Each structure stands twice: as C-alpha cells, then as structure tokens.
Structure 1
Amino acid sequence: MLNLSKSDFVKIIPLLNNNPLPPTFAYAVAHGVIEGDIFVSSCSTIDTFLLKTRSGLYFADGDLNNPCFCSWFKDYLSQKAKNKANRLTLFSPNKILDQKIRDTIGGHCKEMQRCSFDFDPCVYSSDFPSCPSSSSIKEMNYYYIKKHKEFHEAYYKEYWGSVHNFLHNGFGYCIVDHHQNILSTCTTIFRGGKFAEIDISTSPQHQGKGLATKVAHVFIKHCLKQKLTPRWDCDFNNESSKHLAKKLGFHTPKTYTVFVRK
C-alpha cells in the first residue's frame, strides 16, 4: 500500500460520495482542512483506501475484498492495536468491514453503534424563540475557547490540529449570560467539502431550558447561508441527542459501527 501524496487526496472524494455513511472527518482530510494520511494500493486507479486523521480516527472504503488491501489492512491494524500509546478509533462503513475488523483486532476493541442523520432543509423550520434577555448568542472565538470547560483548546487541537485552524476553517456559537458564563455551545467538530458536523453541549445546570435548540438553530442557519449541509451523528443509545436532532430537521438515522481500542 502507498501513502498518497496530499496533492492527490481529492482522488478519494468520488468514493466518499458513493458511500451512504462517509464521516465528515474523511472529507476534511481529503479537502486538506485537517492533517491526515491516506493509504491506497495504487495512485493511478484508486478503488480502495484507508484514511486516518492525526488524532487517530480511521475510515476505510472501496473494494474491501481486494486481496492486496485485505492482507495489508490486517497487518496494519494488528500493529496499531498493539501500540496503546496512540488512539485507535475505526469507523466502519458496512458489515463487510465490520467482520474483517472483528477477525483482525476484535479482542483489542470494543464496538459502539452510532447513528448518522440526514438533514432536510424542507423540514427544517428557521423560526425559533429568541434568547431570554438575560443571555445572548456569541460567535466562538479565542476568548470563549479559553473559558470553555468542554470545547477548550485541547479539544480543538485534537480534532483541528490547532485553535487557529478551527478559527480559520470552522465556526461555532455559544449562549452566554451577562457575566459571560457559557451556557450552551454548538460548534463544528469537523468541516470538509460541503459538510459541517455538529458537536453540541449545554452546562448541566442549564439543561432542559431549550438552549441547545436555540444555539443549534443559529449554527444551522449559518450552514445554510454558506451553502453547507449540517451533519448530526450520535451514539445509538443517546436518546436526548436523537430527539434534538429530529426537532432540528434531521431524519432517517442510519446505524454504523465504530471500533474503539480498549
């Protein structure tokens, strides 16, 4: 397998477009928004690939029965599974790869089921209540990142490589009170091509007040203005996240498997 040169990363985009569940981070790497590596069997005709981000997220797609790929994939995964110093989180696009991963490193990983939602702008309603007078919506910037307990500098360094890269290529919004305390936040965990994936959080003492709905509306309106498609993924058992997604115009959840090293 060959390590594809960055100038050729865009060659995998047709494969991503043909997959019903391509993760947004794969588009982010392919479009050069975040750092990563892409391994292919041939640079001239790309029919199979393994993509990884610098934070340890992996995604494979294409002809997963390709003998050359299968042999290399098993050796590569086995080596990565033994190196517990680095993260290994593998997003699987289908049942074929699910079984190959189980056969190779199943003993080293736990399986998680996640849901990926489609967004329908025709279902989405842009009408929503304004924030109460005691709070306001602010765009995420370095000041709020420094203050944030969840979407802090380490978060953006892990997924974006740096805070600067997020501020240059990503976006987010937060609801703050008069004292600049952050109540609820909606941010891009990844952005690539025409997609922007949502990550959202509300401080525990302010949950149940509809703040997540309000800040997500602002995020989605920004996406539509920029001709971006918002994306929503969550754990299969996260009923509150699934309920919020449906309120915001996301529908038809598709289930996929993520393998996380124990």
Structure 2
Amino acid sequence: MIYEADQEIKQKVSKYFTAMEDTTILSCLQGHMGKAWVNNKENPEAAQIMVGDFTFFAGNSAAEGVEDLLKNVPEHILAIVDNDEWKMRIEEVHKGNAERIQRHAFRKEHKDLDPTYLRKLTANLPVGYELRKIDKSIVSMPSLFKVSPDFIKQFDSIADFLERGIGFAILFDEKVVSAAASYSIYDEGIEIEIVTDDNHRNKGLATCVAAALIVNCLERGQYPSWDAANLKSAKLATKLGYVSIGSYDTYHIHTPSSHLVHK
C-alpha cells in the first residue's frame, strides 16, 4: 500500500531527492504542480514524484511498499532515479516494459546565459514569421496544441497558465508553428518545453523562440532550466549558452494498462 503525500510529508521526503537536480521535482515539492506518494505516512522511507510525463523515485529502494510505488504509473511515463539500486528495481518490476534511454542535463547557472547574445538570436526570424508572447488569444488557438498537446498541460486551466506560466510563439499565416513555454514551474524559475511543427523546421525558429523565452525569464529574475530529450535538443541548448554536464539514464516505461494503485 502507498499513500499520497501532503505538503508536510513532501518536506519529510525532500531529503531523498537532493542529489537529483531536475527542477520538475521542485515543482512538486514546492507545491506548484504534480503529486507525490510515499510507502508510509508516519515514517516514509521511499517516495515517488510525478509531474506530467515524468516520475522520480528516491529513498530506500528495498523498503516495504517500493514495488507498489514503482507500479504506480500510467501506460507511458519517463522514470528517473539516481542510483543503480533503483535502476535494478525498475528493471525487475517492469521487466520487458522498461526501455533505458538517454537524456542530457545542463548546469543551472545564470552566468552561462548572455541576454545580449540571446536578443540577437531573436532577430534572426525568416520573412513571413512573427514572434509573439503567448497571451489569451494565442493560447486559445488550436494550432498551438497541434504543434504540441503538452503546452499548458501541467497547469489547471488556460487562466492558470496565463497567471503562472510563460511562453512565446512563432506564427506563420496566423497559425502557431513553433513555441517555447513553461512545461513546469518552481519557485526560482521554469522548465522549458519547445516544439516546432515538422513543416517549419530547419529555419532557426526553435532558436529564436527559445531565446525569447530565456531572455524574458532572465529579465524576470527566473531561471529557464533546460533538459534535453535528444542530441538535437542538446545541440540547441549549447547554441543558446547552456553548458552540458553529461547524459543520464532514463526509463521509458510502457505498461499494457494503468497500474495506479495508490490509496
């Protein structure tokens, strides 16, 4: 049996996640979005955090209830842990349904990001394209979600995104063809999501829209965190100024059906 954690319990288990620098974890621990579960309410030894497409496990991988935590996932999820013991448990519990892939991490230091340089990148927009901050009119466009259904998905509503989130979009023929926005938020900043329509790639749109978002975050005193799903995203991050700290294991867990078992 596992239990959903309230804010008090989240504080108890936050120590288990200190070695994991993913800001999505902070989104949950700080109470902005996502959910957490523990193996025991009174004395939690292991914990799970889930925000959007990501879930994180930490604590004692051998504790009672860990198998239930590991089964507490939807059909498709990306699972991240920070040691070999947890990796072994994932591979045991999800044998045949857990694919190990690589993501790419970058250090989180303001000094790596040069606003002057980034503003120059926002000026390199091809003729016919328009860069705009995501507002009520753009967030209501179906074309935004055609580019990616995940935009604003972690927020409670459009109104919630407009109040707590941030994003920029590039329009062509009055339709969104590229956008960069806050996938998640935490006290000190955001985690960036960026997607470009397949028909408009290789034109520098991702560079332009990402630079605009990063500059805006820096001007607001927020840190725009970047974590890359692939080498192309990693290459773009480096172009924007981020400094790589290497790749890390991630598990794509794909179960036949939902295993959610929490109480």
Number of residues paired by the alignment? 245
Question: What is the CA distance between 1:95 and its match in structure 2?
Answer: 2.4
1:115 aligns with 104
Q: Which residue of 2 aligns with 1:61?
A: 58
The answer for the alignment partner of 2:37 in structure 1 is 38
Give 3-state SS (helix, strand or coil) of 1:208's partner: coil
The alignment status of 1:77 with 2:75, answered yes or no, reads no
Q: Deviations over 1:44-76 (max 9, x none)?
A: x666422224x46321123x35x4x3x311134
Query: Which residue number corresponds to residue 23 of structure 1?
Result: 22
Q: Normalised by the size of structure 1, how large is the TM-score?
A: 0.80
Unaligned segments of structure 2, at least 5 residues:
255-263
Distance (Å, rounded) in 2 between the aligned partners of 1:135 and 1:75:
49
Q: Does 1:104 align with 2:93?
A: yes
Residue 236 of structure 2 aligns to a residue whose secondary structure is helix
**Is residue 147–residue 177 contact of structure 2 (8 Å, CA) maintained in 1?**
no
Q: Aligned pair 1:245/2:253, yes or no?
A: no
Matching residue of 1:197: 191
Give the drift of 1:40: 5.1
**Distance of 1:135 and 1:160 partners within structure 2:** 28
CA–CA distance in 1 between the matches of 2:112 and 2:6?
A: 41
Task: Tell whether the 8 Å contact from 2:112 to 2:243 is kept in structure 1 after alignment.
Answer: no
Cα distance in 2 between the residues matched to 1:14 and 1:193? 17
Give the match for residue 176 of structure 1: 171
The question of whether the paired residues in 2 share the 8 Å contact of 1:136 and 1:175 is answered with: yes
Equivalent in 43, 47, 50 of residue 49 of structure 1: 47
Does the 8 Å contact 1:92/1:256 carry over to 2? no
Label 1:135 to 1:108 Cα distance change in 2 as closer, same or farther (>3 A).
closer
1:138 to 111, 132, 146: 132
RMSD, matched Cα = 2.7
Secondary structure, aligned partner of 1:175:
strand
- Alignment check: 8 A CA contact 1:22 1:93 kept: no
For residues 133 and 196 of structure 2, the distance between their equivalents in structure 1, rounded to whole angstroms, comes to 16
Residues 183 and 77 of structure 1: CA distance in aligned 2, closer, same or farther (over 3 Å): closer
Equivalent position amino acid for 1:137 in 2 = L
Change (3 A) 1:40 1:250: farther
Identity %: 20
When residues 29 and 232 of structure 1 are mapped into structure 2, their CA distance, relative to the original with a 3 A threshold, is: same
Q: What TM-score, normalized by structure 2, do the two folds share?
A: 0.79
Question: Displacement of 1:247 after TM fit?
Answer: 0.8
Within 5 Å, which residues of 2 pair with 1:155-166?
155-157=151-153, 159-166=154-161
How far off its partner does 1:232 sit?
1.4
